[in-house]
């Protein structure tokens, strides 16, 4: 049992390790809540057709939402460290669901910015960080794998939701699709939140592996350094910058790949399938690179994922055929899935668990700042040039910067273990 999490403290009968329930609940929450991000590209052209707005205007709502999400991720991480994930995720689920319900009533640009930009952005600030920080507290030896399972929820949501939304739009309209998504998110998110618990010790369990004698084995992982001390290290800002680059590339593609594909003559259904392929590939990347990360280290996962990301983005510049888009989507999101899975374990390895929620929140803030800049600047470049070619070159260049930064990572906790 040397590689298994402790099910009960010494002297107790073994039973169900509650960490697995935490993982299942976090997975379903991730499916529901992050589907709201994956599906926005499907709504892009229907909204564009109903209103006299530019692509930059519509892309801007995603940018505002991402900035708000990232800004609050640090706060939500601190609240999770202090109060636990259940309250934070319950409130966040209500806000995300409300955002889409109000988006269905949009009649002017400010209403779109209020519903998706502000309300949904605030809600999403309390999703990723509380979920992954909680899983990191429950698991030590299989932290990457369990984080990968939870993050596959993003891919599952991206696989299921775009085709479903496209069907609802075709059968009814985009407003009905928004309302249905909002209702589903609210119910699933709130229910899943009730199963979350912050600390194994408070439930008489431990995240540490057992020795052959049946006693919890002490790990070499450091307790960690406080947030203020971490923020003074170069590795802290390297981590933020790496995920800023990843956020820029990923959300530029997620928001604009559907309009780009349809501009090239691919049907709306085919373009939604490209988004679904991204979701499916993300699932494989979460699991495969998540499991591999426990063996080769999180730094190598980031480097490998960054190489694949850059290669796929340079290829995107010349893609014109549907099958090429599908292959591109698979390569890109396989890579991004692994990098996303490595985020929380990477923070734990670099800085320990003392201020894990706040530090992860700051790294997540970098990701969302990139996610805010990417869609807007990509739309702005298109409006100015009439083409996405230059915008995709910029994405590839920023991805290259992220690759170089990933190669420079080192532990910041005083430990000499592998990152």
Task: State how far the Cα of 350 lies from the Cα of 355, in Å rounded to an integer.
Answer: 11
CATH number for the domain that contains residue 181: 1.20.1250.20
Q: Give domain status of residue 93, yes or no.
A: yes
* CB under 8 A, 24+ apart: contacts of 313-316: 313/249, 313/253, 313/392, 313/395, 313/396, 313/399, 314/396, 316/253, 316/392, 316/395, 316/396
Q: DSSP letter at 224?
A: B
| Residues of the chain above pLDDT 70, percent | 88
pLDDT in tens, 222-249: 467 888 898 888 889 999 999 999 999 9
Residues in the chain, total: 419
Q: State the pLDDT confidence band at 5, using cuts at 50, 70 and 90.
A: very low
What contacts 62, CB < 8 A, 6 or more positions away?
40, 116, 117, 251, 255, 371, 372, 375, 376
The answer as to whether 13 is a domain residue is no
Q: What is the rounded distance in angstroms from the CA atom of residue 228 to the CA atom of residue 210?
A: 33
pLDDT tier for residue 112 given thresholds of 50, 70 and 90: very high
Kindly tell me if the per-residue pLDDT of 46 is higher than 60: yes
What is the value of pTM for the model shown? Answer: 0.72
Residue with tokens 């073994």: 14
Give the domain range for residue 262. 19-209+225-406
The mean pLDDT value for 362-378 works out to 87
- Average pLDDT of the chain to the nearest whole number: 83
Asked if residue 160 belongs to a domain, the reply is yes
Coil vs helix vs strand at 5:
strand
The SS3 of residue 352 is strand
pLDDT in tens, 307-344: 999 999 999 999 989 999 999 999 998 998 888 888 88
Give the chain's domain count.
1
User: What is the phi-psi region of residue 10: left when phi exceeds 0, alpha when psi lies from -120 to 50, beta otherwise?
Assistant: beta
Instruction: Supply the pLDDT for residue 365.
Output: 86
Q: How confident is the model at residue 206 (pLDDT cuts 50, 70, 90)?
A: low
Is 155 part of a structural domain of the chain? yes
Residue 14 lies in a domain: no
For residue 201, what pLDDT band results from cuts at 50, 70 and 90?
low
Q: SS3 for 209?
A: strand
pLDDT at 291 over 60: yes
Local confidence band at 412 (pLDDT 50, 70, 90 cut-offs): low
What pLDDT score was predicted for residue 216? 39
How many CB atoms lie under 10 A from the CB of residue 11? 7
Specify if 364 maps to a domain.
Answer: yes
Contact between residue 193 and residue 86 where contact means Cβ atoms under 8 Å apart: yes
Confidence check: pLDDT of 4 > 60 = no
Q: Is residue 123 part of a domain?
A: yes
Residue 219 lies in a domain: no
More confident residue, 12 or 264: 264
């Amino acid at each position: 049992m040397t590689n298994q999490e402790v099910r009960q403290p010494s002297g107790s009968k073994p039973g169900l390790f509650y960490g697995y329930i935490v993982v299942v609940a976090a997975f379903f929450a991730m499916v529901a809540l992050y589907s709201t991000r994956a599906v926005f590209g499907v709504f892009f052209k229907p909204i564009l057709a109903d209103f006299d707005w530019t692509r930059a205007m519509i892309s801007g709502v995603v940018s505002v939402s991402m900035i708000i999400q990232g800004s609050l991720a640090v706060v939500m991480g601190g609240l999770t460290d202090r109060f636990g994930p259940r309250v934070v995720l319950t409130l966040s689920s209500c806000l995300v669901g409300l955002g889409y319900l109000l988006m269905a009533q949009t009649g002017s640009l400010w209403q779109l910015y209020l519903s998706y930009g502000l309300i949904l952005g605030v809600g999403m600030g309390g999703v990723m960080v509380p979920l992954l920080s909680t899983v990191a507290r429950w698991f030590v030896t299989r932290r990457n794998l369990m984080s990968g399972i939870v993050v596959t929820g993003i891919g599952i949501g991206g696989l299921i939701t775009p085709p479903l939304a496209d069907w609802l739009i075709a059968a009814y309209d985009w407003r009905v699709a928004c309302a249905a998504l909002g209702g589903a998110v609210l119910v699933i998110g709130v229910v899943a939140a009730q199963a979350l618990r912050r600390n194994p010790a408070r439930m008489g369990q431990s995240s540490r592996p057992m020795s052959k004698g049946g006693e919890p084995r002490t790990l070499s992982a450091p307790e960690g350094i406080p947030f203020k001390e971490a923020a003074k290290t170069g590795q802290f800002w390297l981590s933020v910058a790496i995920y800023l680059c990843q956020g820029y590339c990923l959300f530029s593609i997620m928001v604009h790949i559907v309009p780009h594909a349809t501009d090239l003559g691919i049907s709306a259904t085919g373009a939604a399938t490209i988004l679904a392929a991204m979701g499916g590939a993300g699932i494989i990347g979460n699991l495969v690179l998540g499991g591999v990360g426990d063996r080769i280290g999180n730094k190598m996962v980031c480097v490998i994922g960054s190489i694949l990301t850059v290669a796929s983005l340079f290829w995107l510049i010349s893609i014109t055929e549907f099958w090429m888009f599908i292959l591109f989507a698979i390569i890109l999101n396989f890579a991004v899935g692994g990098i996303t899975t490595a985020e929380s374990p990477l923070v734990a390895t670099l800085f320990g668990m003392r201020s894990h929620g706040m530090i992860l929140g700051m790294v997540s803030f970098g990701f969302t700042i990139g996610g805010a800049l990417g869609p807007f600047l990509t739309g702005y470049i298109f409006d100015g040039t009439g083409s996405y070619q230059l915008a995709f070159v910029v994405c590839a260049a920023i991805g290259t910067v992220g690759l170089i930064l990933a190669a420079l990572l080192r532990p910041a906790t005083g430990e000499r273990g592998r990152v």
